[in-house]
Amino acid sequence: MLNPGDKAPWFELPDQDGNIVKLSDFIGKKIVLYFYPKDDTSGCTKEACSFRDELSIFEGINAAIVGVSGDSVKSHKKFVDKYNLNFTLLSDESKGMLENYGVWKEKSMYGRKYMGVERTTFIVDEAGIIKTVFSKVKVDGHTEEVKKALS
């Protein structure tokens, strides 16, 4: 698992429009890098819409919101269009970034074990250093937690 003070692992992935987005695109900006399990599911939709609704506040403090899941570019595009999401979603179908950030984990539901994304948010500073890590995120109140950590 990554910790505050660690350098954010490099990434280079397609966004919801198929454009390649790299970590270096954000140098000079803070990044709220949030990892979530699945497009268009209840918790993930609530989390994304909360970030959407507060985007102007994040932009006002020079912070970009970037969501990441293992869903496809096409799935992200549908999710963005359905909920008018106004920030970047990265598609990590290979799970490389999910593994590098330590969020691809064994999970269990109804006694069945499977691999999936543990909902986690990283705040990365302007120089690419991790400042804050929120593990096992509870969606309710999370956007407020992130705003406090940035102020």
Closest to 83 in 3D by CA, of 45, 55, 47: 45
Write down the catalytic residue from 21, 31, 33, 44: 44
Q: Which residues have CB under 8 Å from 120's CB, separation 6+?
A: 34, 35, 101, 102, 103, 133, 134, 135, 136, 137
Closest to 37 in 3D by CA, of 133, 126, 107: 107
Is 49 catalytic? The answer is no
Distance, in Å, from the CA atom of 18 to the CA atom of 80, rounded to the nearest integer, reads 13
* SS3 of residue 147 by DSSP: helix
Q: Which residues are catalytic, by number?
A: 44
